[in-house]
């Protein structure tokens, strides 16, 4: 798609790139967007295309392509006082939505490798008066990389994260390590590439693959839920005992 196909009225060409965990782009496509779909960050026009942020301001079920954090958190059985973590917190839409539910007596740990995203989360939490959000510069790709203590959490969320990771199994192992014996893991990710709307086809982690990875780490599926028109959601329960990789019940 070239610029000539977009330059009409308020339509402009925008290059969208999917980035890997170190921030470098590995997949780019051109799309046409209306100028009204842009926001301004530090004086630069930025397309509002975050698949979590796009629906975060609405409590209604998602009617478009994107997952809605405010709707999906209802599937996580969160309660006041819980300690939870968002592994790969990104924009923080889920972390903030969870913080509103667990309340002042609870805690939300937003873990990500991108420091600018973590700062954004902290600023938005402060602006909303949410003092129960802690940001952690961490990496799900390596054992102990999340920097969260053993058996500290009631729930871990992996949302739109798996397709970006090189060591996907390690992320599940980290979830098990940080969860209490009866803890819960929630996975939300793209069902498929959808012609470039989502991740590259070869990077998509199917729901079947997610089940295999979770089982190998010592999790049992509890139930599935619709997480948006293009996303799946699964709730897993942490099992006692070693994983299939031979790790102890850490």
Residue 248 lies in a domain: no
Question: d(Cα 124, Cα 103) in Å, to the nearest integer?
Answer: 16
| pLDDT of amino acid 242 | 60
Residue 225 lies in a domain: yes
Residue 203 lies in a domain: yes
Quick one: 21 and 104 in the same domain? no
Q: Locate 188 and state its tokens.
A: 């939300």
pTM for this entry: 0.74
| One pLDDT digit (tens) per residue for the chain, 250 residues | 444 444 444 444 444 444 444 444 444 444 444 333 333 333 333 333 345 544 444 433 333 346 899 999 999 999 999 999 999 999 999 999 999 999 999 999 999 999 999 999 999 999 999 999 999 999 999 999 999 999 999 999 999 999 999 999 999 999 999 999 999 999 999 998 888 888 899 999 999 999 999 999 999 999 999 999 999 999 999 998 665 555 556 5
CA atoms within 13 A on the CB side of 90: 18
| pLDDT of amino acid 166 | 92
| pLDDT of amino acid 193 | 87
Quick one: 177 and 231 in the same domain? yes
Question: d(Cα 73, Cα 122) in Å, to the nearest integer?
Answer: 20
Q: Locate 147 and state its tokens.
A: 């920097």
Quick one: 57 and 40 in the same domain? no
Which element (helix H / strand E) includes 198?
none
Q: Locate 94 and state its tokens.
A: 């889920």
Quick one: 43 and 89 in the same domain? no
Phi-psi region of 166 (alpha: psi -120 to 50; beta: other; left: phi over 0): alpha
Quick one: 37 and 70 in the same domain? no
Which element (helix H / strand E) includes 177?
helix 168-178
Q: How far from 71 is each of 55, 86, 129, 230, CA to CA, in Å?
A: 9, 16, 21, 15
Domain membership of residue 20 as a residue range:
3-47
Quick one: 99 and 204 in the same domain? yes
| pLDDT of amino acid 96 | 98
Quick one: 24 and 57 in the same domain? no
Residue 249 lies in a domain: no
| CATH number for position 84 | 3.40.50.150
Q: How many domains does the chain have?
A: 2
Quick one: 79 and 136 in the same domain? yes
């Amino acid at each position: 798609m070239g610029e000539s196909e977009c330059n009409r009225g308020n339509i402009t060409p925008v290059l969208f790139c999917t980035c890997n965990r170190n921030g470098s782009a590995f997949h780019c496509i051109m799309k046409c967007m209306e100028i009204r779909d842009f926001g301004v960050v530090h004086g630069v026009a930025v397309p509002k295309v975050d698949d979590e942020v796009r629906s975060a301001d609405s409590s209604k079920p998602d009617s478009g392509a994107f997952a809605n954090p405010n709707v999906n958190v209802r599937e996580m059985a969160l309660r006041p006082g819980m300690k939870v973590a968002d592994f790969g917190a990104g924009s923080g839409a889920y972390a903030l939505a969870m913080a509103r539910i667990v309340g002042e007596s609870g805690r939300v740990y937003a873990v990500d490798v991108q420091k600018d995203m973590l700062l954004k989360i902290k600023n938005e939490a402060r602006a909303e008066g949410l003092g129960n959000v802690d940001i952690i510069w961490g990496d799900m790709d390596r054992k102990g990389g999340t920097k969260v203590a053993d058996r500290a959490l009631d729930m871990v969320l992996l949302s739109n994260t798996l397709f970006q990771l090189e060591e996907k199994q390690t992320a599940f192992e980290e979830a098990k390590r940080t969860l209490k014996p009866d803890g819960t893991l929630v996975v939300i990710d793209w069902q498929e590439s959808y012609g470039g709307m989502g991740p590259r086809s070869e990077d998509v982690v199917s729901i079947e693959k997610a089940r295999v990875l979770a089982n190998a780490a010592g999790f049992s599926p509890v139930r599935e839920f619709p997480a948006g028109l293009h996303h799946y959601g699964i709730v897993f329960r942490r099992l006692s005992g070693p994983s299939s990789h031979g790790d102890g019940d850490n």
